[in-house]
Amino acid sequence: MKKVISLVTLLVLTTTAAVTLAHHSAAQFDFRNTVLITGTVQEVRFANPHLRLILEVTDEARGTRDIEYEGHSRNNMRRQGLMPDMFQVDDEVTIRIAPMRNGEDGGYVTALRTPDGEEIGRVTGAD
C-alpha cells in the first residue's frame, strides 16, 4: 500500500511540475535576436501572470494589423519602473521584443519607450 501511495504522490508531483514549467517556458521567444517595434496601443493589461500589450503595427510587407505581445508580470514591470498610467490606448510606443521563433507576429517585451520618451529597459542601442 505504501508503494502505491508513493507512486501516486510521485505522479501527481511530476505532472504538476511539468504543467507549471510548460506554462512559464519562454522557449517560443528568440532572446538572441531582439527587434524594435513601434505601434499604436490598442489594449494594455497589467495583470498576472503576464503583461498583455496589443499594438497596431504597420509595415510595408504586411500592412496594418494588431499584434499581441506579452511581458513580465505586473509586479516585475513595476519593479522595472513601468506603471499602468505611463501610457494608454492610442499612444504611440516603441518596444524591444524577443520575437517568436516560428516567425509569427508577437513576442516578449524586453524594453519599452513611453510616449514621453521614458525608457523602461534598454530600447535603443546595440544588442
Q: What is the pLDDT of residues 56-78, one digit of tens each?
A: 999 998 999 999 999 988 888 88
Q: Tell me the backbone φ, ψ of residue 113, rounded to 5 degrees.
A: -110, 125
Residues 16 and 9 sit within 8 Å (Cβ to Cβ): no
pLDDT in tens, the chain (127 residues): 666 565 555 566 665 544 444 456 788 999 999 999 999 999 999 887 889 999 999 999 899 999 999 998 888 888 888 888 888 999 999 999 999 999 999 999 999 999 999 998 887 764 4
A 10 A CB-CB count for 92 gives: 14
In whole angstroms, give the CA distance from residue 61 to residue 63: 6
List the domain boundaries for the chain.
28-120
**Taking the domain 28-120, which CATH number applies?**
2.40.50.1010
